[in-house]
Structure 1
């Protein structure tokens, strides 16, 4: 008699489960990378706290209104470089006394808050966000100034930071500097050029040159307090407008300063109630294929991001030209009560019909002063003799013309692929979106890794043939693989975020909240669409 043992058969994951598993793994990696920014100071965090001082993020937590969200921007700046992740700065948008403010906090636990080349890029982008969205700026200052070993990269462009502060003041966008510790050399000009300055007693030190440099330059003997202490600046020089007894008091004074700004939004703020999305945002993790060559329907994402149906919003997404240029899905919706126009890639490639449809839609959005949201998953514009003859270049140029000259605010989220000129036509970083975020699934480069490596192989083969030399196909395999791996690595979201090519890598489930904050910020001033566009080649 023979017996057979029962064997357990592992259940096969559905496509949705496979996608979720892959996305959850990417999110785990994202959280680990973001933690590097929080913990960048290492052992110096404990030392900083032993001195009775708050960390940069603790200062921000106390500054913003209780229970409100703080949208941190560019937390991965400097990723992949020789510098700490986060670039020794914490930046973001927070609500202080009911006012949305751009907040920039030096992280003194990372090289004393010294600014390196990535700090500069991050601070410049933060200033740009403040300018375009008409935000007051609060600098939580504690920095030793420039990272001296890299001074040649930051000295010349660094002056832009002072220029931005003074121009902000001239635009009637208040700037507030709260000095918690050292603010030396070039850093002394941050409070020097701010509209309001608060200094912490026995902690703030603001001077162009510290005692050692003063002695070297002039022979004068001095000490920190006499040269640039908070008491001296509050009683003698007049640089300080308020003397705080400690850090908590400084933050209290900063909040009172904002409360007295008499700040009002100048745009159209939604007043009607809005419904939550018709579909569950949790399921956004199920949407993105592990292979970005596989298309997915962006409507499944849109209906999990925009306001749901309800009074005043009979259709969650009112699609425009649904039967024409179907590889690009466009239409009207509301998000947290804000009207928006959406352009989302339904299939990776953009053809003439999609380009013309997009150009018309962008014009319509400008006609009625409506912000635009671009959701990327594109491999670029279609190539081939048939499409070249059909005018793909002039139609693609028409779409890029419309994007370039559009004056309504643009928001961009890269969900999947963003390759080639498709990145441009869909309002990539070079086209100055108000905000640009990426999902952990995003990839962006001049073309897909396999395509780029394949092109190089074809070029190498043709070159060998022209020279009458044999082409070493086997030897090129290793080169091709190396190129694919290099392009794949360079196209990943951490690399691009580290270079400050986006404003942050976000959890797809947070997309609605993040965009809602951005749209609220945009409403600080009126929206006015473009009256003119460049010449469209028809």
Structure 2
């Protein structure tokens, strides 16, 4: 397989400007993440006084020391609902994929350092996305719970849809996916069903509180007077109700017990045999990725320069390279794993759509995972494209993406506009994983284009009425166009997209190869793992 020969000069002014712009975008993301961590850390004294660990400390202690952890949707709900400045982003949960007792698991922890861990609507959706990943990738779920339940201010947005979270727990158990839950504090009302529907439960003595109705509600509803411990303390659930299988003396002890439970599953016994492949570093450093790609999606570049910095040996088998220059398809290896790569050098043309559709089917036939590097303003428009069958051929590409049986991982590295988002395996097409760079832009179209369209429509209305717009009318139309551009810029911003779970998180471009290697490994293991399923999941009696 021939290696890509890079034409990039890392000392050039353009490269340095691109790098500075990309790092500035990344710094904006990191600043928001730091605000969230600062909000958590501010509660340390309160947690220490109760003899507790902070939620992120619980996650770190649960993970095998020195092992990788891929955090997911860290900024879900950014500046939405009661998050005014971004300091509450994350949906009040911490979630990701890491190793527990040598087993790759899906970890989720209530972020009780922020508003008591009460779930926001986007926190709920994040939780269900995490469950979907666990089911698809056949990952055991380890949860660390301390939450006041749903934020009642937004119950109308959560109550009905939130039931799906519990249904998913039952289905995960029935699918043979074990769920291990440590209750560190309150898990009340609807939240009581999280441990109730888990396969293994650890409760921390004198801290865990699990009940459908707390003392105030109980007194109001029935007149009965009872304290927290009698209603839902760890001792009661372990000795009387039988809701919990294990009791811990403190947070660290609870985590130790959970790690022991995961180890006892012997989960890796059924891991498919993985044939080791030699791993070769790219010829060109992944660190250069920040300088290769301009932040402005309107500035062209050759996406092969990105590929050269993420694939083994920078080697790439270019598929139909002379048939279409705007859609790049080809085979490569990432950390010794074979992949098919589809990338954009511009809009998707008729030839590009047919080329990509065929390539997807060939990868499906060969059982080779697909990696999409998305940077497209959409499918090509115009008389020539329409007469050439862009709707027909674009539809076939979309059908191939929707129905392929191989794993798909999407990285949004620039524009993600219109139906191009669909053809390049955007969120709506359920890729196994989708991440975005901090320069990504996702919308139905670019802001300037949308403003021009609405401006033309506005002027058309005047023309239809036989009116020639005067200075005042033109000023109004121009103000409207400026407002549309501003709105689209705001709504298509990468932080706005990740807030709405358009992706599974914003990543540093320089980490792209590592993220792809890690997620490809997850998909490869899941692809071959056989689970022992049953009809109803495991229930306590």
TM-score normalized with structure 2 length = 0.92
Give the structure 1 partner of residue 5 of structure 2.
none
Structure 1 stretches lacking a partner, 5+ long: 1-11, 310-315, 529-538
Shift of 1:13: 7.0
- The residue that corresponds to 1:8 in the other structure is none
Structure 2 Cα separation of the partners of residues 151 and 349 of structure 1: 42
Q: Distance in 1 between matches of 2:295 and 2:502?
A: 23
Residue in 2 aligned with 1:88? Answer: 92
- Alpha-carbon distance in 1 for matches of 2:357, 2:42: 54
2:101 pairs with 1:97 = yes
How many residues are aligned here? 510
Q: Distance in 2 between matches of 1:509 and 1:412?
A: 16
For residues 123-170 of structure 1, give each alpha carbon's deviation from its aligned partner in whole angstroms, at most 9, with x where no partner exists.
Answer: 011111111111110110101112112112111111111111111111
Aligned counterpart, 1:124: 128
Taking the aligned partners of 1:225 and 1:523, their CA distance within structure 2 comes to 46
| Residue 460 of structure 2 corresponds to residue 462 of structure 1 | yes
Aligned pairs (5 A) from 1:23-422: 23-41=22-40, 43-81=42-80, 82-83=82-83, 84-264=88-268, 266-267=271-272, 269-308=274-313, 316-346=315-345, 348-422=346-420
Query: Quick one: distance in 2 between partners of 1:376 and 1:417?
Result: 7
Q: Map Cα deviations across residues 333-355 of structure 1 (whole Å, 9 max, x no partner).
A: 11122211000002x21111100
1:452, distance to aligned residue in structure 2 (A): 0.8
Cα distance in 1 for partners of 2:102, 2:524 equals 14
Per the alignment, in what secondary structure is the counterpart of residue 442 of structure 2? strand
* Cα offset, 1:476, TM superposition: 1.5
Q: Does 1:16 align with 2:15?
A: yes
1:536 is aligned to: none
- Contact 1:137-1:175 within 8 A present in 2 as well: yes
Q: Which residue in the other structure is 2:437 paired with?
A: 439
How far, CA to CA, are the matches of 2:516 and 2:23 in structure 1?
21
Instruction: Tell me how far apart the structure 2 counterparts of residues 381 and 27 of structure 1 sit (CA, whole Å).
Output: 29
The answer to whether the 8 A contact 1:278-1:304 is kept is yes
- Segments of 5+ residues of structure 2 without an aligned counterpart are 1-10, 530-541
Structure 1 residue 389 displacement after superposition = 1.0
Structural RMSD (CA): 1.5
The CA deviation at 1:267 is: 4.4
Using the TM superposition, give the Cα deviation of residue 41 of structure 1 relative to its aligned residue in structure 2, in angstroms. Answer: 4.0
| Partner residue, 1:535 | none
* Alpha-carbon separation, structure 2, partners of 1:289 and 1:214: 60
CA shift at 1:272, angstroms?
Answer: 2.2
Shift of 1:270: 4.1
Structure 2 CA distance, aligned partners of 1:296 and 1:46? Answer: 51
- Where relative contact order (Cα < 8 A, 6+ residues apart) is larger, the structure is 2
Query: SS state of the match for residue 125, structure 2?
Result: helix
Contact 1:27 1:440 in 2 (8 A): yes
How far did 1:46 drift?
Answer: 3.2
Q: Distance in 2 between matches of 1:172 and 1:276?
A: 37
The secondary structure found in structure 2 opposite 1:418 is strand
Is the 8 Å Cα contact of residues 277 and 337 (structure 2) preserved in structure 1?
Answer: no
Query: 1:400-453, CA deviations, whole angstroms, 9 ceiling, x for partnerless residues?
Result: 111111111110000011111111110111100011100011111111111110
Give the 3-state SS of the residue equivalent to 1:447 in structure 2.
coil
The residue number in structure 1 matching 2:488 is: 487
